[in-house]
Structure 1
Amino acid sequence: MTTASIPRRAPVQARSRQTVARILDAAAAIADEQGVDAVTTRAIADRAGVAYPSLYRFFADRDAILDELMERHCAEIDARCVAAEQTWEIASIAELLNNELDLHVDYYRKHPGAAGLWMGGRGSATVIKHVHARMHTLAGRLHDILVAAGLIPTETDRRAILVAVEMADRLLELSYRDNDDFDQAILDIGKFALIAFGEAMASGLQA
């Protein structure tokens, strides 16, 4: 767990925004290629082509960069999920949960640095707050999708869907724990519990 970083004021000038984007792109590339531990301010500055002292005009420290990078990953995952969800014709709660898990696994495989940042156990207060808010938003969307498809009762407590989302997140974390890549077998085993919980909701049997 890292300490909370000082919130960064978003740059107004286009040139400054481009510099921030280069810094985040560099941090993401290093994390994907070499792992999160290799993401140092010096390495980021060199990769981004930014003068080392200038980097601190935009970010207080390494943690501030990683915090914003994690938030950017969350936004990209959300955008992909929203776009995909609009194309699905869901026939069961298991299908929806599997689709969401597959989307997340695909993203983490393409962006291993994102998995390293979140699944690797790193999290500042800033990132944790952001991710928890994302979990609530995702749970709300899934609730509405399932109700609209007639797969769960309208009165289903939204917190039940939040529990399912949090279970899925922990399942992904366990699939990455103690493994340099991804343990598909753990994911497959965990899906049994997740889908059983989903089917209980579909039957209106949630506690």
Structure 2
Amino acid sequence: MAETMRRLPAQRRSRETVQRILDAAESLLVTVGYERAVESPALLVEKSGVSKGAFYAYFTSPDMAMETLALDYMERSTAMADDFAAEDYGSWEEVTARAISTYSGYYRNPAVRELWLNGHLSPVAVAADERANLYIATRLWETLRRIEPERTTRLEVVHCAVAIEILDYLLRFAFRHEPDGNAQLIAESIVAMTEYLRTRIG
């Protein structure tokens, strides 16, 4: 759970209450959009089925609930990086392909598109997003160095950070107007990331 909450839920029942609020926030993002979802706590309270007191015990506003939801997505994205870093690969291309396949579907989630692509991330969430991308890049770098230590001696974390940013920004471009993404733009984002890494690996 995000540290920006009013307080963190300690007991199972409290965690379940917070999760109901976050599930409701995600549902509202998809059905009514961010602006409508945050204009009043009443909609989020009603959708989650919790009392107003329970809502305010953890969140000061619907915006904070949305921020917490965004931060939870970022936690999931870094956990996915740990997953692909834990596997064995035959080449650096296989590592890159797995990283791409892991994240290329991220923007298929309509709630993610509403938060990221429509500019609804808070300053706290934007900073966390940058940290998450750097973490993913670091795990990519560690995996590439582990799989092909001789070929990747010139590769630095900054190169992997640039590669991840290339993929992230181009995927946002691909999903900006199409819920399933523009297939040609997705393909081009994969080429751009892979070829950039190729120039740095040699």
CA distance, structure 2, for counterparts of residue 35 and residue 181 of structure 1: 18
2:118 counterpart letter in structure 1: G
The answer to whether structure 1 residue 23 and structure 2 residue 21 are counterparts is: yes
CA distance, structure 2, for counterparts of residue 140 and residue 175 of structure 1: 24
Which digits, 9 at most, give the CA deviation of each residue in 1:129-169, with x for residues without a partner?
Answer: 11111111111111111111116433422111111111111
Deviating more after overlay: 19-28 vs 6-15: 6-15
Which digits, 9 at most, give the CA deviation of each residue in 1:53-95, with x for residues without a partner?
Answer: 54222111121111110111111222233223323414233x3
- Please tell me whether the aligned partners of residues 135 and 165 of structure 1 are also in contact (alpha carbons under 8 angstroms): yes
- Correspondence 1:26-105 to 2 at 5 A: 26-40=24-38, 41-93=41-93, 95-105=94-104
Alignment partner of 2:137 out of 129, 136, 139:
139
Shift of 1:181: 3.9
Unaligned segments of structure 1, at least 5 residues? 1-5
Shift of 1:186: 1.0
- Please tell me whether the aligned partners of residues 140 and 158 of structure 1 are also in contact (alpha carbons under 8 angstroms): yes
Deviating more after overlay: 12-21 vs 60-69: 12-21
Unaligned segments of structure 2, at least 5 residues? none
Taking only aligned residues, the RMSD between alpha carbons, in angstroms, comes to 2.3
Secondary structure of the 1:57 match is helix
Find the counterpart in structure 1 of residue 119 from structure 2. 121
- Please tell me whether the aligned partners of residues 156 and 201 of structure 1 are also in contact (alpha carbons under 8 angstroms): yes
The structure-2 alpha-carbon separation of the partners of 1:128 and 1:190, relative to structure 1 and needing over 3 Å to count, comes to: same
CA distance, structure 1, for counterparts of residue 44 and residue 53 of structure 2: 12
Shift of 1:28: 1.7
CA distance, structure 1, for counterparts of residue 97 and residue 27 of structure 2: 28
CA distance, structure 2, for counterparts of residue 169 and residue 135 of structure 1: 9
The structure-2 alpha-carbon separation of the partners of 1:137 and 1:85, relative to structure 1 and needing over 3 Å to count, comes to: same
Which digits, 9 at most, give the CA deviation of each residue in 1:3-28, with x for residues without a partner?
Answer: xxx65321334433221111012112
CA distance, structure 2, for counterparts of residue 123 and residue 35 of structure 1: 13
TM-score with structure 2 setting the length: 0.84
Find the counterpart in structure 1 of residue 176 from structure 2. 177
CA distance, structure 2, for counterparts of residue 179 and residue 53 of structure 1: 39
CA distance, structure 1, for counterparts of residue 159 and residue 152 of structure 2: 12
- The percentage of aligned residue pairs carrying the same residue is 23
Deviating more after overlay: 53-62 vs 155-164: 53-62
1:89 counterpart letter in structure 2: Y
**Aligned residue pair count:** 196
Which digits, 9 at most, give the CA deviation of each residue in 1:34-65, with x for residues without a partner?
Answer: 54445343332122111235422211112111
Secondary structure of the 1:178 match is coil
CA distance, structure 2, for counterparts of residue 85 and residue 161 of structure 1: 13
2:197 counterpart letter in structure 1: G
2:112 counterpart letter in structure 1: A
Question: Whose relative contact order is higher, 1 or 2, with alpha carbons under 8 Å and at least 6 apart?
Answer: 1
2:184 counterpart letter in structure 1: A
